[in-house]
């Protein structure tokens, strides 16, 4: 009797699944790449419109909090944690069966000054180190078992001739602040992937410095497990060869590689990179009324070329995360000056752009 009932359920299940898949072909990004790597997206919080939430749940298997897990948001005063909006984001992910990447524990930007001062004077190394460890224990400990990975240290490498960026973390603690951060993160969360995350580290000089960071961490027994190439690229200037070389080089160090903040800026600008302190003057807004078809096509082609590269090296990669759900949600509308940008796969009305088809097409070709 029981066997008959189970058989009955099975038949209904098979027919229903066949019906659903016939009625609604699964054309989502996350399914297209499911066998290769996770497809993620950065979101500003849980206050999304219903249509945005539907888009998120359809296409993405993992989320990153664009701002709410940064020290400024989570830990505005010593010992005072504001977990509210991040908790809501983590709960939204859990209840929808998607994972969360924590961004970011230690960064020079969006980090309150209390970490570095002591009665109005610069704090000594030991005090800053103690505060850094407490911050990491407080935050990564709070989310232990609930986040898949942490960007433990973000953007510590100098853009110029120096090895490391002259941040307050570096000047207060010294070069070992990076290793100390990874050690503290592992103590707080025994399982999460622990990532060094930066922009421009696919390119020659910064790539060599990133390799130096990785090797230094290993020498100090600091438990790094992954590298995040942010992936803030610009149309017609995507450094494909450098990206490929970097994926190979980081993987050869025994690390998983992720593209953690992908977008392709389509509005010309003079500066390069993602240092948010670099601002530009001017009010030039060439694509305020939409993106011309030829640029739309170049954007699609370049996204397709990128994903073909990621697929070629998917054995070395764990995730590709877009830095924004759609064009209207991209930070590139405000950086390095206010402009109407179109860097994502979905437009402001949440409609798929030719770039989405191109990326899905790349997945099909590599099946």
Residue ranges that bind ligand G3I, judged by CB under 6 A: 66-67, 109-110, 154, 230, 261, 274, 276, 331
Tell me how crowded residue 16 is: count the other CB atoms within 10 A of its CB.
10
DSSP output for 231-290: -EEETT---HHHHHHHHHHHHHTT-EEEEEEEEEE-S--S--S--TT--------TTTT-
Specify the residue, 189 or 261, whose C-beta has the smaller distance to ligand G3I: 261
Which one of 155, 162, 180, 280 is the catalytic residue?
155
Q: CA angle 144-151-103, nearest 5°?
A: 80
Q: How far is the CB of 261 from ligand G3I (least distance, A)?
A: 5
Q: How far is the CB of 126 from ligand G3I (least distance, A)?
A: 28
Q: How far is the CB of 263 from ligand G3I (least distance, A)?
A: 9
Tell me how crowded residue 171 is: count the other CB atoms within 10 A of its CB.
14
Q: How far is the CB of 44 from ligand G3I (least distance, A)?
A: 7
Instruction: Extract the tokens encoding 91.
Output: 């709960």
Q: Please count the CA atoms within 13 angstroms of the CA of 203 that sit on its side-chain side.
A: 18
For ligand G3I, the nearest residue by Cβ is 331
The dihedral sign for the CA sequence 230, 234, 235, 236:
negative
Specify the residue, 317 or 336, whose C-beta has the smaller distance to ligand G3I: 336
Residue 261 is a catalytic residue: yes
Specify the residue, 67 or 117, whose C-beta has the smaller distance to ligand G3I: 67
Cis peptide before 104 (omega within 30 of 0): yes
Residues designated catalytic: 155, 261
């Amino acid at each position: 009797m029981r066997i008959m009932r189970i058989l009955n359920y099975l038949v209904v299940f098979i027919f229903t699944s066949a019906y659903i898949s016939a009625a609604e072909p699964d054309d989502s990004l996350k399914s297209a790449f499911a066998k290769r790597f996770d497809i993620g997206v950065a979101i500003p919080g849980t206050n999304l419109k219903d249509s945005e939430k539907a888009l998120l749940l359809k296409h993405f298997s993992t989320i990153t909090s664009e701002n709410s897990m940064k020290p400024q948001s989570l830990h505005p005063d010593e010992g005072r944690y504001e977990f509210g909006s991040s908790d809501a984001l983590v709960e939204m992910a859990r209840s929808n069966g998607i994972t969360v990447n924590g961004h970011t524990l230690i960064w020079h930007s969006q980090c309150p000054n209390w970490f570095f001062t002591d009665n109005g004077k610069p704090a000594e190394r030991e005090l800053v180190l103690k505060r850094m460890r407490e911050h990491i224990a407080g935050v990564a400990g709070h989310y232990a078992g609930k986040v898949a990975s942490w960007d433990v240290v973000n953007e510590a490498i100098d853009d110029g001739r120096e090895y490391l960026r002259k941040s307050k973390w570096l000047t207060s603690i010294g070069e070992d602040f990076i290793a100390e951060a990874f050690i503290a993160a592992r103590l707080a969360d025994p399982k999460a992937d622990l990532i060094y995350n930066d922009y421009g580290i696919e390119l020659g000089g910064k790539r060599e410095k990133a390799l130096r960071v990785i090797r230094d961490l290993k020498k100090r027994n600091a438990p790094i497990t992954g590298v995040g190439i942010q992936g803030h690229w610009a149309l017609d200037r995507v450094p494909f060869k450098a990206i490929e070389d970097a994926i190979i080089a980081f993987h050869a160090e025994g690390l998983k590689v992720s593209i953690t903040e992908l977008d392709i800026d389509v509005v010309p600008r003079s500066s390069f990179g993602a240092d948010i302190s670099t601002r530009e003057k001017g009010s030039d807004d060439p694509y305020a009324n939409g993106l011309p078809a030829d640029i739309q096509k170049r954007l699609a082609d370049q996204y397709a070329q990128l994903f073909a590269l990621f697929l070629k090296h998917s054995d070395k990669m764990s995730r590709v995360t877009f830095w924004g759900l759609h064009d209207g949600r991209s930070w590139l509308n405000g950086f390095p000056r206010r402009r109407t940008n179109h860097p994502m796969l979905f437009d402001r009305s949440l409609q798929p752009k030719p770039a989405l088809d191109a990326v899905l097409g790349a997945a099909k070709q590599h099946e």
